Each structure stands twice: as C-alpha cells, then as structure tokens.
Structure 1
C-alpha cells in the first residue's frame, strides 16, 4: 500500500487581534529574564547567519521640535536557525558564581515552547513604533512610549498588539548583559560603574540581579546627583548588599571598574579623556553617542551590526568620519558568542549595540507566546474586515 502524501493546512487569518498591555508584559519579563536574554542571544545568532531582514529604522522628525522623534523598526526573524552552536549560556562558559547559571526551567506542557529557548518556535515578523520625547521627563512621565505589531508569517495579518516601551528597554538591557557576560566570560565582576542612572540603567540593574551576577561594588554617576542617589537606594534594596558609592566626577565611575554601563540622553560626545579607559574595562555603550572618536579608536569595538551602528552620528560613525574607514570595529556580538572574537589584554572593550528590530521582534514574540499560553491579554475577535 503506497504512502499517502501529507496534506498541508491552508493558511488562514488569525481569529482576532490579541492586545497585550503593560501588566502582562511586566509579569512575563520579571518571571524569566533568562528567557528574555536567550531570545536576544538567539536573535543575534540568527541575524549573523542571514536568517533575518532588518531594514534601517525610519525616523519621523518635526521641524519645530528638534529633540523629539518617532522611530519605526520593522524586522523579520527566524531565530530557530541561530541556536545550538555555542555553549549555554554563551560560548564563553559564563559562570554566575552559583550552582546553576542557566536559570530555572520555566517551560511546561502548555508553555508554547521552552522559555529558555527564547520562544523562537518559528519565523516572526513585526514592527515597533517608538516615540522619544525627552521633555516628558520634566513632567513626570517617561521619555519613551511604544507599541509593537506582530504579523502572521503565512498571511501577513497582524495577530498581536503589545505595549512595547518595556520590551524595548528589556531587549536593550538584555543585549547589554549578554555582551557583558560574553566579554567577561562570567557573571562575576569586581566593580561596576554606571554613567547615567535612568530607565535603561535600571533595566540593566534588574538583569544583573535576576541573573544572579556576583558584583563586588557599584559606583554611580549622573549629571543630576539626585537621580544617582535614588538609584543607590534601589541598588541597596536589591541585596545581598554590595557597597554603593555616588560619585561627583564621571571619571570616578570608570576608575577601577571592570564593567561600565553608559546610558545617558547625550546627543553628542562628552567623554573625551583617554584616562577614562586606563583600567581596560568592558564598556556597555548603550546611548551610542557619548565617546569622542579618539576614545573609540583607542578601544576594541564590538557592535551588533556594523552597517546599522555606524550611522546617525553615533560615536562609531564620528570615528569613521575622522579616519575614513571602519577597520576599528573589530566584530559583532555574534562573533563573541561563537568564540571568534575576544578581549585584548590591557585594552578597553566598548560594546555599542545599536538596537536592532530583530531583538524587538524576538522579545515581543517570546512575550506574546508566554502570555497567550496562559490565556492573557485581550482578544478583539471582530477586529478584521473579513
């Protein structure tokens, strides 16, 4: 008897649009930051393998509001193709200093995929629409607001709308901490300096805490000392207690630090003293425009995607304009994860992740799957004109 060919189910539009608000997003991320980090890691590897489409972001600017902008980041990602080719977590064998550095297994029979795999069960596509209005902060609410739309791969119909400012901050912090663990080779560090103690630094703090990093001490600098003092109180409440010092000079946040997190709202370079890098730290340059070209050229430089990061007047872009080439960019975070790039002894390493749309789609898709598996969100059944 001959074997019958398998029949393929015809594609159909989603039954409705699932709207996922901040509460569900927060619960998912806070319940498993290891899962968010793995989603980012898998996305980076898939992107390096060409299993993605990540157009340059589009900036909507306003003639009479030069500080404000709204940014569109579309992306496609097949994260399943990027897995399984390096150690967990990270190719460098990162050691959390505890008995199990991989984090708890939060997958279950109805989870829709293991959270530790980043939820990358299949191809994903979508777009993040994020507004940046720095003036909001003076009125007591966040600078950034965002939404994300996820689209069905077979039909193109959107199936989810998510609050995305939290997803955006999470993927930024996750990429930073991934870079730190891979470049340092462990989840243990003597001294961490923070330059800028706002929202992004706070998300980095939560990753360090929830991934059980062993930190000896913290040094905090912010142009507004009150922000640094408030951040110090938050750090002290995390426990177990590590000494926290608020410093009045940015140089003191770098002095003796093994890891420095730079997350400011600077639009032009304000860090130009070569002595800042004298102790050869790993620098997580999350705000992208803080370093003068001379400091960039004096360091080992790692980014997530060279074509994306060397543009829009970033510090890397300014360095390229000064020397006329990009040879000072030594590789990507995927190279580091796979063991093809490592730190140079006695030399600072600056990781400048531009923030790729594939990371938003990866983390947003993972959040959606986790929320949908537990019946969360609100499904608008009659959303489509069908």
Structure 2
C-alpha cells in the first residue's frame, strides 16, 4: 500500500484541475451512501464528532475517509479537524493507498465552494469576503480565483490577530488582501461571502447581504452548527451540495422552521447543476446561497487524482 503525505497529496490538487474534476464527477454516476456520524463526549467535558464517509465508482475505486472534528482544539492550539483517507480497489477490496485526509478534505471543500460559485456567483464577482482562518478558509481565495476574477479579498475572524496573519499570508501569495473587524460592513460590500467556520451561532445576517451577492456556507455540517441566520435564505435562490444537507445543516433547518425557506423550494444540488438539469444564476440582482455539508464523492474524486498523478495503475 502506498502512502501519500501532506505534500504528495497536495501536489496533484491544483484548483484548475480539481474543480473541473469535481464538475465531471457530480455529472456522472457514483455510489455515495449516507455518512456515519458519531458524537464523542469525554468525562472532562471535551466533545467531538467522528464522521465515516465511504464512496465508490464504476471506475474501480473505493474510498473511505475518517474525519474527527473537535472544535475545542482551537483553545489548545491544535487544528479542529483531523482526517485520514484510504483508497481501495473496488473490485477486490485490496488497499491501494493511505492519503493525508486533512489536505484532501481542505482542498476538495474549497474546490466544491468554487464549483458552486461558478454556477451561482455573478460572472463579474471580484470582491471576496472569507469568514474563518482555518485550513479550508486559507484556500478560498485561490479556489474562487480559479472561477471568478477575484481582485479584492477581506477576511474576518473572531480573533482579529488570526485574520491579520492570514491576510498577510495572502498578500505574500499575491492577493490584494486585508483583515477586517467590521463584519457587517464587509458583508455589505462583498460579491461573494464564503463562510468556513465551526460556528454554532449565526455570523452572517440576511439584511447585510447585497443584491446580486452570493453566500457560500461550507463550514457547518451538523444540525447544531450554523454560520448564517434564517433571513439569509429569504428571497434568495438556494442550492445545496447533496440532498443530505437538508437533514444535516443547521442553517437550513433554522430557515425551514422560521418559514424563510421551504424544503421543496431548494433549487437543486451540485449534481443537478453539473448535469444541466437546473440553471444557476438567472440575473445580476439575484441573491444566491450555496450550502454544503461535504460529500464522499468529492473525497473519492480528489483521491483518484492523487493516485493517477503518481502514475499508479488503475484497478
């Protein structure tokens, strides 16, 4: 069995390659069972979530990701997310490779965010606001710049020093980036608002969102997590990555309960967009929302790219 560390996993997953690969994968057929979710509670009060995400394709690959999410790690100076990915031969079950699940998760999540924006953000969207400073948030300017003419990036975080450090990193990478402490003003100015946090109380309010803006919610993935309030969905065309989001996303559940969104009014999934079954943005003044909880199909697609990039034979 081959082993791909963080660098080896990252190298084949440039967004110019990964975003189109995800589009093709969502347009095709694959087998993606519902994820297994387990809550971990320790006697000392520490809490976490374990996700087990399998998927397999007719191309002959089977993958299983195990991901541990422990929000309290931030206080320890540790990442809140740890993951490993194992790729198998789907015809025999033979293990082929173990990959860095953290890198795989971050890059495929940012790529899915950009894929959603490629359908839903205005074609001239150039001002990106990022909420969060974690591994996924750091990748969002590069991901969105692969599909939209991003020339201004702002970042907000509940710890301002973290936002300042990330803005400096992005400037070193060539982005026109600044940190902000005025979240309302930054949201009102942005063409794309992308949230990549583990928030449990809403950060973005619907009345702040400008006409024609695109709200991208990719951080929360359980009913107890939410990055936006119910009014964000009022009057907006809402899309989801998979049907599972309607059971797992706290923002959607809140909006449905508040009456600002009906489940049957959700416009469609990424697969429907990629297959051309649903249209994306229909006007420059339209507000759009994309809510993602993540899909094992994205992991399998990224892992397959890593495997193929190494010159490994297909199963």
TM bucket (normalised to shorter chain) is 0.7 to 0.9
Gaps of 5+ in 2: 221-225
Q: Distance in 1 between matches of 2:256 and 2:207?
A: 22
Q: Distance in 1 between matches of 2:38 and 2:83?
A: 14
**How far 1:185 moved relative to its partner?**
6.0
Cα deviation digits, residues 250-306 of structure 1 (max 9, x gap): 1122122111111111023343x3322233311111124212223223321011112
2:206–2:234 Cα contact (<8 Å) kept:
no
- For 2:183, the equivalent position in structure 1 comes to 250
Q: Distance in 2 between matches of 1:77 and 1:321?
A: 36
- Consecutive aligned runs of 4 or more in structure 1 exceeding 4 Å deviation: none
Which of 217, 222, 235 does residue 285 from structure 1 map onto? 217
Determine which structure has more spread, i.e. the larger CA radius of gyration: 1
1:124–1:362 Cα contact (<8 Å) kept:
no
- For 1:34, the equivalent position in structure 2 comes to 16
**How far 1:313 moved relative to its partner?**
4.6
Question: Is residue 198 from structure 1 mapped to residue 131 from structure 2 by the alignment?
Answer: no
Question: Is residue 58 from structure 1 mapped to residue 58 from structure 2 by the alignment?
Answer: no
Cα deviation digits, residues 300-337 of structure 1 (max 9, x gap): 1011112x101235211222344494123111223333
Q: Distance in 1 between matches of 2:300 and 2:150?
A: 31
Map 1:224-373; keep pairs closer than 5 Å: 224-239=159-174, 242=176, 244-271=177-204, 273-288=205-220, 289-306=226-243, 308-323=244-259, 325-339=262-276, 340-345=278-283, 346-373=285-312
Higher relative contact order (CA 8 A, sep 6+): 1
- For 1:126, the equivalent position in structure 2 comes to 63
Which of 96, 107, 114 does residue 159 from structure 1 map onto? 96
SS in 2 for 1:25: helix
1:256–1:279 Cα contact (<8 Å) kept:
no
Cα distance change of structure 1 residues 37 and 190 upon mapping to structure 2, 3 Å threshold? closer
Map 1:66-77; keep pairs closer than 5 Å: 67-77=47-57
- For 2:223, the equivalent position in structure 1 comes to none
Q: Normalising to structure 2: TM-score of the pair? A: 0.87
Q: Distance in 1 between matches of 2:166 and 2:110?
A: 16
Q: Distance in 2 between matches of 1:293 and 1:202?
A: 26
SS in 1 for 2:33: coil
Q: Normalising to structure 1: TM-score of the pair? A: 0.72
Q: Distance in 1 between matches of 2:235 and 2:47?
A: 30
Q: Distance in 2 between matches of 1:36 and 1:174?
A: 7
1:183–1:336 Cα contact (<8 Å) kept:
no
CA RMSD for the aligned pairs? Answer: 2.3
